Amino acid sequence: MQDWLTMSMGDLGRGIAAGEIDPVDLTRTYLDAIKAHPLQNRIYARLTEERAMAEAEAASERAKLGLRRSPIDGVPISWKDLFDTAGTATEAGTALLEGRMPEADALVLQNATSAGLVCLGKTHMSELAFSGLGLNPVTETPPCVNDEDAVSGGSSSGAATSVAFNLAPCGIGSDTGGSVRIPSAWNDLVGLKTTSERVSLQGVVPLCAKFDTIGPLCRTVEDASLMLAVLEGGKPADLRGATLKGRRFAVLDTLAFDDIRDAPRAAFQSAVERLAAAGASIEHIEAPEVADAMAPTAILFTSEAYGTWKDVIEAAPDKMFAEILARFRAGAQFSAPDYVAAWQTLDAARATWNARVAGFDAVLLPSSPILPPNAARLLSDHDYYVTENLLALRNTRIGNVLGLSAITLPTGVPSCGITLMGAPFGEEKLLRVAAAAETALA
């Protein structure tokens, strides 16, 4: 039974289908593990135990009757604390929303429930999702699985650690500038960033709606595929027979290796060599439009974030972590013409990029140029905080500003991931490529 805590969603689902795993026993095993874990309160903001057991009992009955609703019907998962849950507080990691009680589930949670998944509870996150570090002195800072003195990455910090510490087989997070991929990379998980507007944001506390995306943090590419299908009410990508033979990969040299630390660089190079050995062809590319796209990100992200939250923030600014407050307020310095011009620059860069990489199956880059920073130093050293925060999200943000699908995979080196960026709305192809890459990297 203890093995259940380390199994993938796909394997758990197959065990339920075969009658070897009862969803009630599985859910109880996870809830007991969470409540017994010394880091429970640093990972989970709150449990939904009564709901979980009721959903598990219904899944158990469906399994006995041969009426399962999806391949992962009966599997329990965690949810980042910005997905509305009816009757359970959803506070998005901030005292500004303390006690906020939604009346309905977010649409993606409704879809997951309809597919038979079990809601374990809500996980901690960066305040209002506006940091890639996962540092949150207002609520809790989940630790990295490889270094408990380090941050776990954000903003889906608890989502990642719920999986990494074997307290959920999958966590659902959001990704605006890297918030699924950074915590996945730093905790040796698979993290899928979906294309903007592919998965519904209805009932999700926003940061920058034009860039906000939803995705799973999980153990395998198969799990990412299964979970994407559940979130949008579709069918999972067909991963059978996936191979790297004949695949063309481009390594992005522009920006992605600037100021990179030794461990992520070496891990990336080793991973690329293994992909090549499995049959992929590797080419290096320069793409000046990436720098063009990244230049106006401060305008685009902070303007929308502050425009969305200005009234709530300024009614009680003292409730916020000072570093996050300053980041929001930076949006006040830009004008409407600045914002419009920034989008025009970005749209042109996207068109150039899509034409440049049309012949490649994926573009490769290190998921993060740095390792997880020390949490105590982040709190005491402002310059260190700013430098590490910007570097943490630098590579992942490329995928967000260009409007791409992207996935991070573990390289086998602790806290070092490799990202594969695919085409906009190209998740199915990307997942097939990633499944073959996963095998090569194992």
**Residue carrying the six token digits 């004008």:** 335
Helix (H) or strand (E) holding 420: strand 417-422
Residue in 194, 55, 177 with CA at minimum distance from that of residue 121: 55
Alpha-carbon distance 193 to 211, whole Å? 11
Reading the block at residue 228, the tokens are 């994407």
The 10 Å CB-count burial string (b at 16+, else e) for 246-270 is ebebbbbebbbbeebeeebeebbee
Q: How many CA atoms lie within 13 A of 419 on its CB side?
A: 34
- Beta-sheet strands, E only, within 209-361: 213-218, 248-252, 281-285
Residue 29 in 3-state DSSP? helix
Active site residues: 80, 155, 179
- Beta-sheet strands, E only, within 297-401: 362-366
- Beta-sheet strands, E only, within 272-326: 281-285
- Beta-sheet strands, E only, within 42-201: 44-47, 76-80, 118-123, 143-144, 147-151, 170-175, 190-193
Residue 150 in 3-state DSSP? strand
**Residue carrying the six token digits 């402002």:** 382
